[in-house]
């Protein structure tokens, strides 16, 4: 008995020592429910996402490039399921600098400026306001703010006029009463990339103060040594935790890169740098730009995009945790080396609240659904909704390629595999072409038109007709069916020799050759169909390889074009569009 009393303290001491030697857990997350979520959490093109928490609500925004309204605002209660609640801007501010094919008379966004516009926003909550900062590489750094993220945001403020600045992120340091902003650079505009700068900013977030401090430059390894070459470092997200300032950045390129963290006890550096997430052998390419957020139960999560080819850049959710020496780790760190790997599935962060992204629309509201965007700054005369129908007037010529027409009402492809069916009621089709499109750098469409007294339905690639047939009736249904699959991982196409290219040109048509996406997988194929009763559908034209856009994924479009611009414009009504995700 006496021996047991003597051994008991020794046993307790041994357990304490063993506990102290135990390895850091891979991820510190409690099981809040028994459900498992599956990545991607959003199979639609929300590029460069950033996320914040306010109370028990989560808000996300993303790049919108040349699409308007821009800066989509999404809301979630569980970090897995999201819905659109608004947009940060209704019109894209004019550019201020020329760039290659963009001359002085092409600085507006009144026509599609493919691959330009709103780049990589950062969303923050500060002093009772929601703030969004973003970069237009042909204008500079802008910001908007509001008290209601689902409501109206203030007019964009140009914080700094600059060419080639992208990916800004602000921070307000309450300990010092100073604000700062970090950003990256677009090599296409200024010949600079792989460089991160930090500025002091006024508290109101309306202008920068003093001069920039370069806190990292991948091309200056003597001053900024790293364990690996951090090429194309960009996508900055500025935050503070405890006494440390952190700048989270992707590096290595969009498709095949990794996540990096910089940290310092001074916002202007010097900064240490470390890789905190990489694909390894997961088959999940490029855990790219995103935002780190602490849930209301004290756990950490990271939402980022993955480039997957034609569909664009889809959103994934990763568990995150902090090491004992205050470095973030994104994903699951299976070998305890401080570098996480992205997950395919994981325990849900919070009890599920089944929000759903909007797709289908019966046009019963007085305004367009939040899922709809135009490829240029919209005008009031471009559409109206009357008696539960969308009415599009024919304001532009049918001789234009649809990817260059500003008045095409679009929304993102919602998945790799889906059908979208639009019903078009009785209308006067004489002198008009109207229908459904698959939009990217090149467009495919199925459309109705009346030639003399004959109704025709045809499929086009650009302005080239690939198939056509006569059709009778008063109500018509047009459909796009798609099929594709998530690449694991994404791969580039195999480069063809000159001889192989010539052989392909001899046996294939333009629609099979021109402006194909760069990837050998992540491809989506499309097939158009039509019906006169909404039940029995007939294929029209060949199956085709869908094209993605410039920095954006493929999109669905509704259009109405004028065949004879010398006559007053007609109009076409659309009754509904229904999406079926397979």
Q: Cα separation of 135 and 465, whole Å?
A: 39
* Whether residue 234 lies in the annotated active site: yes
Cis peptide before 40 (omega within 30 of 0): yes
SS3 24: coil
Cα-based distances in Å from 410 to 123, 346, 381, 413: 25, 33, 16, 9
User: 13 phi and psi, to 5 degrees?
Assistant: -60, -40
CA 360 to chain centre: 20
The active-site residue, picked from 138, 197, 217, 234, is: 234
The active-site residue, picked from 45, 48, 78, 255, is: 48
Q: Cα separation of 533 and 338, whole Å?
A: 60
Q: Cα separation of 89 and 14, whole Å?
A: 61
User: 285 phi and psi, to 5 degrees?
Assistant: -75, 150
User: In terms of C-beta density within 10 A (0-12 exposed, 13-18 middle, 19 or more buried), how is residue 327 classed?
Assistant: middle
Cα-based distances in Å from 581 to 125, 521, 529, 554: 34, 20, 17, 16
Find out whether 158 and 165 touch, Cβ atoms under 8 Å: no
Q: Can you read off the two tokens belonging to residue 364?
A: 């019963």
Task: Give the CA angle between residues 532, 534, 537 to the nearest 5°.
Answer: 75
DSSP code string of 450-461: EETTEEEEEEEE
Contact partners, residue 247, CB within 8 Å, separation at least 6 = 169, 182, 196, 198, 215, 216, 236, 237, 238, 261, 262, 263, 271
Q: Cα separation of 375 and 406, whole Å?
A: 6
Q: Can you read off the two tokens belonging to residue 163?
A: 């060419």
* Whether residue 48 lies in the annotated active site: yes
Find out whether 239 and 261 touch, Cβ atoms under 8 Å: no
The position carrying tokens 């199956």 is 543
How many CB atoms are closer than 10 A to CB 502? 10
Within 13 Å and on the Cβ side, how many CA atoms surround 355? 19
Q: Can you read off the two tokens belonging to residue 5?
A: 């009393």
Q: Can you read off the two tokens belonging to residue 78?
A: 């569980």
CA 317 to chain centre: 14
Buried b (16+ CB within 10 A) or exposed e, 219-232: eeeeebebeeebeb
SS3 20: helix
Catalytically annotated residues? 48, 234
């Amino acid at each position: 008995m006496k021996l047991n009393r003597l051994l008991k303290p020794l046993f307790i001491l041994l357990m304490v020592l063993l506990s102290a030697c135990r390895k850091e857990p891979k991820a510190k997350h409690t099981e809040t429910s028994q459900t498992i979520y599956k990545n991607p959490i959003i199979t639609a093109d929300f590029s460069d996402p950033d996320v914040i928490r306010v109370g028990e609500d989560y808000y996300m925004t993303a790049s919108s490039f040349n699409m308007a309204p821009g800066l989509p605002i999404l809301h979630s209660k569980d970090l897995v399921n999201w819905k659109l609640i608004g947009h940060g801007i209704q019109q894209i501010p004019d550019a201020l600098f020329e760039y290659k094919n963009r001359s002085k008379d092409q600085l507006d966004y009144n026509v599609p400026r493919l691959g330009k516009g709103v780049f990589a926003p950062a969303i923050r909550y500060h002093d009772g306001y929601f703030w969004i900062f973003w970069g237009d590489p042909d204008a500079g750094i802008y910001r908007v703010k509001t008290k209601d993220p689902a409501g109206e945001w203030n007019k964009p403020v140009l914080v700094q006029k600059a060419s080639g600045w992208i990916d800004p992120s602000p921070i307000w340091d309450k300990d010092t009463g100073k604000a700062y902003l970090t950003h990256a650079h677009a090599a296409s505009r200024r010949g600079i990339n792989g460089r991160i700068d930090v500025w002091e900013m006024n508290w109101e977030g309306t202008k920068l103060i003093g001069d920039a401090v370069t806190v990292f430059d991948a091309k200056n390894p003597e001053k900024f040594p790293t364990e690996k070459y951090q090429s194309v470092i960009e996508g900055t997200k500025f935050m503070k935790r405890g006494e440390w300032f952190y700048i989270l950045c992707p590096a290595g390129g969009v498709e095949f890169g990794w996540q990096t963290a910089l940290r310092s006890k001074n916002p202007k550096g010097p900064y240490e740098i470390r890789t905190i997430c990489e694909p390894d052998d997961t088959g999940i390419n490029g855990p790219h730009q995103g935002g780190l957020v602490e849930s209301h139960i004290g756990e950490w999560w990271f939402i980022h995009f993955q480039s997957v080819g034609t569909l664009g850049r889809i959103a994934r959710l990763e568990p995150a945790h902090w090491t004992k020496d205050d470095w973030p780790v994104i994903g699951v760190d299976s070998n305890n080396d401080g570098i996480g790997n992205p997950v395919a599935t994981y325990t849900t962060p919070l009890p599920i609240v089944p929000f759903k992204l909007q797709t289908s629309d019966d046009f019963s509201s007085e305004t367009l659904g939040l899922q709809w965007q135009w490829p240029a700054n919209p005008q009031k005369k471009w559409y109206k909704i009357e008696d539960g129908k969308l009415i599009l007037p024919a304001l532009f010529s049918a001789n234009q390629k649809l990817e260059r027409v500003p008045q095409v009402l679009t929304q993102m492809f919602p998945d790799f595999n889906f059908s979208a069916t639009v019903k078009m009621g009785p209308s006067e089709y004489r002198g008009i072409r109207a229908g459904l499109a698959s939009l990217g750098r090149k467009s495919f469409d199925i459309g109705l038109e009346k030639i003399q007294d004959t109704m025709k339905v045809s499929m086009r690639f650009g302005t080239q007709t690939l198939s056509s047939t006569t059709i009778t009736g008063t109500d018509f249904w047009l459909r796009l069916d798609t099929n594709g699959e998530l690449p694991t991982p994404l791969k580039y196409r195999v480069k063809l020799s000159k001889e192989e290219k010539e052989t392909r040109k001899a046996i294939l048509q333009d629609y099979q050759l021109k402006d194909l996406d760069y990837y050998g997988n992540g491809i989506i194929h499309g097939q158009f169909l039509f019906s006169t009763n909404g039940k029995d559908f007939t294929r029209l034209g060949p199956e085709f390889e869908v094209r993605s856009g410039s920095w954006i994924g493929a999109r669905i479009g509704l259009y109405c074009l004028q065949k004879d611009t010398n006559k007053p414009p007609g109009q076409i009504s659309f009754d509904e569009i229904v999406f079926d995700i397979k």
